[in-house]
A = this chain, B = another copy of it.
Amino acid sequence: MTSREELAQFLKKEFPQNKATIESVGERMATVRHTVGEAELRPGGTVAGPVMMTVADVALYVAILGEIGIVPLTVTTSLNINFMRKPASDRDIIGICKLLKLGKTLAVGEVTLYSEGVDEPVAHAVGTYAIPSRPR
């Protein structure tokens, strides 16, 4: 199990452009936050789709590395996202990931995305990741 602090440091160093932060990680789950400011909005006063895709992708990555340790070359192999409701323009996006499968070479997880403080989710994603084989 990898701690939130270790993962936060790893993301900061290896993904300096990433703006999502880790709220919690563990027990095959992860919660990630993305602040929403001018740069995240699109016409209609709502959050741009790629911001939510990014949150889903980061939440999956963090949930997996939280279980297997820092294996940076773990990569997304597929992502499917459904946008369900208009996100608020003045609330952060919160992504909550639950892993559905954690095999030796493949992980599958789902991410439910919320506008912070709103009950109904704004989007839902399912992603698969390939885990490189590694020495034991």
Question: Which A positions have Cβ atoms within 8 angstroms of B?
Answer: 14-17, 39-40, 42-44, 46, 48-50, 53-54, 57, 72-73, 75-85, 100-101, 108, 110, 112, 120-121, 124, 126, 128
Contact = CB atoms under 8 A, between A and B. Distances in A.
Q: What is the count of identical protomers in the complex?
A: 4
Contacts of A84: 100-101, 108
Nearest to A73: B44
Contacts of A108: 82, 84, 124
A80 B76 CA distance: 12
Contacts of A79: 49, 53, 79-81
Contact of A72 (B17, B43, B121): B43
B72 A77 contact: no
B124 A126 contact: yes
A83 B77 contact: yes
A80 B120 CA distance: 21
Contacts of A124: 100, 108, 110, 126
A78 B81 contact: yes
A49 B76 contact: yes
B75 A100 contact: no
